[in-house]
């Protein structure tokens, strides 16, 4: 087994609207297992774009992407969906819960999809995750009845439900106050240190970035500094 | 029961928008109940008219037909290979009586598909009463067998059919004849055959069918009486009526009987082409109405699911981001369509049955038809649900496929 959780080789991506424009230029990137990496950079530097490529959702790029040593570039959309389901947890810039479902269901759905545990076990696990973020009282409320910060915490709980090898966050603390940002940060650090989960987050929050293991700085679609 | 996660999501979406779901299901319900109602009405009336026609008509009618002159006779004399030509051949009159009717009846009776055989003698006659003459047809029958075949008792309005058996010169006449000649049960009527014979008969009953022409001209008498009227012997029979187990097989059986007997065997389909044509036309009209209704219901579902998908496009993107594959997303939305179809189907069966039952209680009272003939035929209900669900699947498939093709990145990044 390799120690590299995420490896990108020569990733290049173009935007075509309004004119052909390189959003990512020949990016090489390695993230080790259990590492907590922050990607920072100015707006429009391509850091979110890179994250979506790394998350396997965006398949329109040149170059190669390996997750846990497995080549994922060129796999079918359905295979990629299965990879995301089992080994990638994703936290979006805005909370993005399913409003018709309770918070508990929202957290449970990825695990139900995976189908490795019984619904009872999944429910217990989902409660545990909600408790970690202090939103267990909201568990049975509909997702759209919660405040933005609460929803964001539920969304993070959802990203963790399948114990993914890699957790990706696009401004995961963007909607949280400093107290809850601290809670989330401590938890992320715990996940990487104690459980060996890899974290890759895109952030504007300098304090958050500084406290992570490594900062990757991006500018104009290129990696300026790998931080090591 | 453990629901799959796709099913759970589909059901949550349906229950989150109860009104829309109900409207879509109502569309299907309407289609299915109309389908059942129309089919019931069509089959009911078709069956009724078929039954009606069998009151006056056998499944197969065997009689002697005039034949076109042929070269057989010449063959007997000119036994060579010369070419014989008949220029402008004429019809050769055949005896109206069948040869060896008893033998024919015996043979027909032994056919496994035949359930009833009865001989008849028909004669064109004048009905005389006082100075008034009326022309018509008297049918000499064995009244017990005839009644079994055509259920004549049902049409009797006065007197009794059974008396025909007891009174040898009894006659049962149509209501039209009775009215025109002012005759009642017990009166005397004189029949004059075209061949010259006359018979005085006693009226024992009066019948009324829904067909005025029959009521105005037809009468039933004992077969021996008509044979005497025509001056023929007891073996004189002009027609043989045959009923078989499954009347839909009549054309095939008729062909077989024609070969066996050598006489013309006419099945009821041939004799009733206009009836059959009417059935077909009705079927086309009703089926196109049903088709349009189901099509409209299908478009309703299509529309609602399409709108749902636009509404839920962000959620579809999330589902894909957290690991739902394209087929899973298709399944979520297709299942919604199917549940709408099932709900509409179940209610549609109930409404269809209720509608059919209600209409079957509407009093019509035309002739012997008292209530609208509606059939309660189980396959119609099964077909209706099948068609309904097929429509919903077809209507749901395209929006569902569109949902499965949503690109999560473009939606989530905005």
| Position A137 pLDDT exceeds 80 | yes
From CA A20, how far away is CA A18, in angstroms rounded?
7
Predicted confidence at residue A151, as pLDDT, reads: 85
From CA A107, how far away is CA A139, in angstroms rounded?
9
- Helix A178-194 to helix A148-160 angle (10° resolution) is 10
Q: List the Cα angle A35/A41/A42 in 5-degree steps.
A: 160
Q: Please state the rounded mean pLDDT for residues A23-31.
A: 87
Query: Any CB–CB contact under 8 A between A112 and chain B?
Result: yes
Helix (H, G, I), strand (E, B) or coil at B67: strand
Residue A58 in any domain: the answer is no
| Range list of β-strands (E), chain A | 4-15, 21-32, 36-41, 62-67, 70-71, 88-91, 166-170, 198-202, 214-219, 222-225
Contact B409 A100 (CB under 8 A): no
Query: Any CB–CB contact under 8 A between A119 and chain B?
Result: yes
Would you place residue B189 in the very low, low, confident or very high pLDDT band (cuts 50, 70, 90)? very high
Mutate to test the interface with A, among B4, B9, B321, B330 (most CBs of A within 10 A): B321
Task: Kindly state whether residues B237 and B325 are assigned to the same domain.
Answer: no
The structure tokens 């005397």 sit at B188
Residue B297 in any domain: the answer is yes
Query: Any CB–CB contact under 8 A between A47 and chain B?
Result: no
State which residues form the domain around B15.
Answer: 5-53+275-413
Residue of B nearest to A170 (CA): B413
Contact A113 B13 (CB under 8 A): no
Distance from CA of A208 to the nearest CA of B (A): 22
The DSSP bridge partners found for residue A37 are: A200, A214
Nearest to A158 by CA among A113, A193, A205, A190: A113
First to last CA, chain B: 39
| Position B24 pLDDT exceeds 90 | no
From CA A139, how far away is CA A111, in angstroms rounded?
16
Task: Kindly state whether residues B379 and B303 are assigned to the same domain.
Answer: yes
The structure tokens 């890179």 sit at A50
Predicted confidence at residue B177, as pLDDT, reads: 92
- CA distances (Å), origin A38, targets A46, A154, A188, A198, A226: 14, 21, 12, 11, 10
Q: How many CB atoms lie within 10 A of CB B86?
A: 12
Mutate to test the interface with A, among B323, B403, B405, B414 (most CBs of A within 10 A): B323
State which residues form the domain around A140.
Answer: 35-48+76-223
Asked if residues B261 and B117 have their Cβ atoms less than 8 Å apart, the reply is no
Q: Please state the rounded mean pLDDT for residues B225-243.
A: 89
Q: What percent of chain B has pLDDT over 70?
A: 98
Query: Any CB–CB contact under 8 A between A228 and chain B?
Result: no
Residues of chain A neighbouring B328 (CB-CB closer than 8 A): 81, 113
Residue A96 in any domain: the answer is yes
Nearest to B14 by CA among B305, B373, B319: B305
Residue A10 in any domain: the answer is no
Task: Kindly state whether residues B327 and B344 are assigned to the same domain.
Answer: yes
Cα B115 to chain centroid, rounded:
20
Query: Any CB–CB contact under 8 A between B262 and chain A?
Result: no
Residue A68 in any domain: the answer is no
Asked if residues B141 and B123 have their Cβ atoms less than 8 Å apart, the reply is no
Domain termination residue (choose one: B223, B239, B266): B266
- CA distances (Å), origin A13, targets A21, A134, B283: 9, 39, 62
Would you place residue B322 in the very low, low, confident or very high pLDDT band (cuts 50, 70, 90)? confident
Residue A177 in any domain: the answer is yes
What residues contact residue B158 under an 8 Å CB cut-off, 6+ apart?
B178, B184, B185, B205, B206
Predicted confidence at residue B170, as pLDDT, reads: 92
Tokens linked to B393: 């699947």
Domain termination residue (choose one: B266, B291, B320): B266
| Position B52 pLDDT exceeds 90 | no
| Position B389 pLDDT exceeds 80 | yes
Task: Kindly state whether residues B114 and B227 are assigned to the same domain.
Answer: yes
| Position B70 pLDDT exceeds 80 | no
Residues of chain B neighbouring A81 (CB-CB closer than 8 A): 320, 323-326, 328
| Position B6 pLDDT exceeds 70 | yes
Predicted confidence at residue A22, as pLDDT, reads: 84
Q: Please state the rounded mean pLDDT for residues A30-51.
A: 87
Query: Any CB–CB contact under 8 A between A14 and chain B?
Result: no
Predicted confidence at residue A95, as pLDDT, reads: 65
Asked if residues B205 and B156 have their Cβ atoms less than 8 Å apart, the reply is yes
CB-count exposure of residue A144 (10 Å: 0-12, 13-18, 19+): exposed
The DSSP bridge partners found for residue A202 are: A39, A170
From A82, A98, A105, residue closest to B315, measured CB to CB: A98
pLDDT in tens, A52-65: 888 888 888 888 88
**Residue length, chain B?**
414
pLDDT in tens, A160-201: 898 888 999 888 887 778 888 888 888 888 888 888 889 999
Cβ under 8 Å to B: A residues 69-98: 77-78, 81-86, 88, 90, 92, 96-98
Task: Kindly state whether residues B312 and B243 are assigned to the same domain.
Answer: no
Task: Kindly state whether residues B308 and B379 are assigned to the same domain.
Answer: yes
Query: Any CB–CB contact under 8 A between B315 and chain A?
Result: yes
Residue A54 in any domain: the answer is no
Tokens linked to B388: 């309904």
From CA B384, how far away is CA B37, in angstroms rounded?
10
Residue A113 in any domain: the answer is yes
Contact A85 B413 (CB under 8 A): no
What does the DSSP 8-state code read for residue B222? E
Residue A73 gets the label, from left (phi > 0), alpha (psi -120 to 50) or beta, of beta
Predicted confidence at residue B350, as pLDDT, reads: 94
Distance from CA of B23 to the nearest CA of A (A): 20
Contact A81 B408 (CB under 8 A): no
Would you place residue B2 in the very low, low, confident or very high pLDDT band (cuts 50, 70, 90)? low
Residue B224 in any domain: the answer is yes
Q: Domains in chain A: how many in total? A: 1
Mean pLDDT of chain A: 86
Residue A21 in any domain: the answer is no
Residue B82 in any domain: the answer is no
Task: Kindly state whether residues B194 and B102 are assigned to the same domain.
Answer: yes
Task: Kindly state whether residues B142 and B246 are assigned to the same domain.
Answer: yes
| Position B367 pLDDT exceeds 80 | no
Predicted confidence at residue B354, as pLDDT, reads: 94
Nearest to B10 by CA among B313, B324, B339, B297: B339
Asked if residues B268 and B247 have their Cβ atoms less than 8 Å apart, the reply is yes
Query: Any CB–CB contact under 8 A between B318 and chain A?
Result: yes
Tokens linked to A218: 């991006």
Q: Please state the rounded mean pLDDT for residues B209-235.
A: 89
Predicted confidence at residue B218, as pLDDT, reads: 92
Give the CATH number of the domain where residue A102 resides.
Answer: 3.40.50.300
Residue of B nearest to A112 (CA): B5
Task: Kindly state whether residues B124 and B200 are assigned to the same domain.
Answer: yes
From CA B88, how far away is CA B71, in angstroms rounded?
12
Q: Domains in chain B: how many in total? A: 2
| Position B1 pLDDT exceeds 50 | no
Residue B83 in any domain: the answer is no
B100 φ/ψ angles, rounded to the nearest 5 degrees? 55, 60
- CA distances (Å), origin B162, targets A38, B119, B122, B168, B221: 106, 18, 20, 11, 12
Predicted confidence at residue B414, as pLDDT, reads: 63
From A77, A100, A105, residue closest to B325, measured CB to CB: A77
Q: What is the pairing mode between strands B156-159 and B198-207?
A: antiparallel
DSSP string, B269-283: HHHTHHHHHHHHHHH
What does the DSSP 8-state code read for residue B384? H
- CA distances (Å), origin A107, targets A90, A135, A165: 12, 12, 17
Tokens linked to A33: 């297992």
pLDDT in tens, B324-338: 888 899 999 899 888
Query: Any CB–CB contact under 8 A between A44 and chain B?
Result: no
Residue of B nearest to A52 (CA): B409
Task: Kindly state whether residues B154 and B287 are assigned to the same domain.
Answer: no
Q: Please state the rounded mean pLDDT for residues B40-49.
A: 85
pLDDT in tens, A75-117: 888 888 888 888 898 888 776 788 889 999 989 999 988 888 8
Residue B77 in any domain: the answer is no
Domain termination residue (choose one: B246, B266, B286): B266
Residues of chain B neighbouring A113 (CB-CB closer than 8 A): 5, 322-324, 328
From CA B351, how far away is CA A172, in angstroms rounded?
54
From CA B220, how far away is CA B222, in angstroms rounded?
7
From CA B392, how far away is CA B296, in angstroms rounded?
11
Query: Any CB–CB contact under 8 A between B311 and chain A?
Result: no
Mutate to test the interface with B, among A100, A101, A114, A151 (most CBs of B within 10 A): A100
User: What ipTM was estimated for this complex?
Assistant: 0.87
Helix (H) or strand (E) holding A17: none
Helix (H, G, I), strand (E, B) or coil at B262: coil
Tokens linked to B83: 């070419």
From CA B70, how far away is CA B78, in angstroms rounded?
14
Residues of chain A neighbouring B318 (CB-CB closer than 8 A): 92, 96-98
| Position B370 pLDDT exceeds 80 | no
């Amino acid at each position: 087994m390799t120690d590299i959780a995420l490896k990108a080789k020569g990733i290049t991506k173009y935007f075509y609207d309004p004119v052909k424009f390189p959003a990512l230029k020949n990016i090489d990137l390695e993230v080790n297992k259990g590492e907590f990496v922050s990607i920072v950079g100015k707006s429009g530097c391509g850091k979110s774009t890179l994250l979506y490529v790394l998350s396997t959702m965006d398949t329109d790029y040149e170059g190669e992407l390996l997750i846990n040593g497995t080549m994922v570039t060129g796999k079918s959309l359905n295979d990629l969906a299965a990879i995301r389901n089992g080994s990638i947890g994703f936290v979006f810039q805005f909370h993005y819960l399913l409003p018709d479902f309770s918070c508990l269901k929202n957290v449970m759905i990825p695990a139900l999809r995976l189908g490795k545990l019984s619904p009872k076990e999944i429910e217990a696990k989902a409660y545990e995750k909600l408790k970690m973020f202090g939103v267990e009282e909201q568990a049975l409320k509909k997702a759209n009845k919660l405040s933005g910060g609460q929803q964001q915490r539920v969304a993070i709980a959802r990203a963790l439900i399948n114990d993914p090898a890699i957790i990706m966050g696009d401004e995961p603390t963007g909607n949280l106050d400093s107290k809850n940002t601290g809670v989330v940060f401590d938890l992320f650090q715990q996940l990487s240190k104690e459980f060996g989960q890899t974290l890759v987050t895109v952030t504007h929050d300098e304090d958050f970035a500084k406290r992570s293991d490594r900062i990757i700085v991006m500018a104009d679609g290129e990696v300026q500094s790998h931080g090591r | 029961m453990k629901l799959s996660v796709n099913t759970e999501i589909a059901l949550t979406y349906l229950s989150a928008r109860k009104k829309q779901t109900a409207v879509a299901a109502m569309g299907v319900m309407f289609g299915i109940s109309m389908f059942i109602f129309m089919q019931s009405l069509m089959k009911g009336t078709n069956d009724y008219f078929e039954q009606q026609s069998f009151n006056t008509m056998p499944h197969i009618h065997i009689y002697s037909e005039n034949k076109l002159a042929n070269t057989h006779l010449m063959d007997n004399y000119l036994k060579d290979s010369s070419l014989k030509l008949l220029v402008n051949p004429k019809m050769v009159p055949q005896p109206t009586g069948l040869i060896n009717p008893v033998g024919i009846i015996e043979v027909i009776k032994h056919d496994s598909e035949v359930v009833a055989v009865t001989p008849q003698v028909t004669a064109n006659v004048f009905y005389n009463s006082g100075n008034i003459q009326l022309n018509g047809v008297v049918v000499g029958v064995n009244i017990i067998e005839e009644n079994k075949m055509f259920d004549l008792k049902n049409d009797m309005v006065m007197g009794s059919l059974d008396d025909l058996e007891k009174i040898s010169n009894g006659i049962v006449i149509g209501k039209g004849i009775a009215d025109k000649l002012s005759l009642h049960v017990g009166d005397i009527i004189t029949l004059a055959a075209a061949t010259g014979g006359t018979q005085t008969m006693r009226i024992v009953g009066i019948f009324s069918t829904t067909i005025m022409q029959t009521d105005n001209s037809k009468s039933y008498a004992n077969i021996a009486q008509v044979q005497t009227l025509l001056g023929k012997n007891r073996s004189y029979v002009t027609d043989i009526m045959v009923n078989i187990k499954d009347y839909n097989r009549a054309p095939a059986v008729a062909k077989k009987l024609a070969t066996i007997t050598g006489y013309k065997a006419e099945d009821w389909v041939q004799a009733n082409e206009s009836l059959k044509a009417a059935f077909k036309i009705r079927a086309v009209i009703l089926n196109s109405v049903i088709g349009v209704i189901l099509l409209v219901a299908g478009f309703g579902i299509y529309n609602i699911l399409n709108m749902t998908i636009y509404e839920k496009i962000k959620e579809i993107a999330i589902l894909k981001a957290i690991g739902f594959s394209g087929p899973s997303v298709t399944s979520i939305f297709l299942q919604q369509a199917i549940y709408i179809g099932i709900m509409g189907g179940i209610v549609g069966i109930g409404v269809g049955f209720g509608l059919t039952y209600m209409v079957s209680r509407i009093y019509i009272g035309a002739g012997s038809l008292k209530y609208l003939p509606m059939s309660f035929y189980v396959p119609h209900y099964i077909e209706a649900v099948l068609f309904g669900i097929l429509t919903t699947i077809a209507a749901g498939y395209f929006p569902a496929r569109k949902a499965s093709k949503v690109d999560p990145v473009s939606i989530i990044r905005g």
